[in-house]
Amino acid sequence: ALMITDECINCDVCEPECPNEAISMGEEFYQIEHSKCTECVGHFDEPQCVQLCPVACIPVNPAHVESREMLMQKYLRLTAAA
Ligand code: SF4
Ligand code: SF4
């Protein structure tokens, strides 16, 4: 999963583009719910939020490093639950 750092300027661009609705406004800046972020695996070739973010503040969440296979499993779980 990816994460949003405190460099986020709350530009609102990424939130509507997340295919998993993993992005929401936090207390001070946007945040990513790691259990919903597949790094866009299953939906797009590249993470949409990273593509769009004007300040490049969306790195991999070091507490939730996942392989492509794990991300694909998450995608399948999320779409099965939907
Ligand atoms: Fe959403 Fe994709 Fe960004 Fe994860 S990488 S937060 S799934 S847009
Ligand atoms: Fe923050 Fe980047 Fe999302 Fe804009 S696109 S709200 S700067 S994380």
ipTM confidence score: 0.98
Which tokens sit at 2?
């990816």
**In the structure, what pLDDT confidence band is assigned to residue 81 with cuts at 50, 70 and 90?**
low
Which residue lies with its CA nearest to atom 5 of ligand 1?
39
CATH number at residue 76: 3.30.70.20
- The count of structural domains within the chain is 1
Distance CA 73, CA 8 (A): 29
* Residue 82 confidence (pLDDT) above 80: no
Q: Is residue 2 part of a domain?
A: no
Q: Is residue 55 part of a domain?
A: yes
Q: Is residue 62 part of a domain?
A: yes
Q: Is residue 4 part of a domain?
A: no
The CA 4 to ligand 1 mean position distance, Å, reads: 10
What is the Cα 15 distance to its own chain's centre? 9
pLDDT at residue 70, rounded to an integer:
98
Q: Is residue 1 part of a domain?
A: no
Q: Is residue 7 part of a domain?
A: no
Residue type at 9? I
Q: What is the pLDDT of residues 2-52, one digit of tens each?
A: 999 999 999 999 999 999 999 999 999 999 999 999 999 999 999 999 999
Is the shortest distance between the CB of 9 and ligand 2 below 6 Å? yes
For residue 40, give its domain range.
15-81
The number of CA neighbours under 13 Å toward the Cβ of 37 is 28
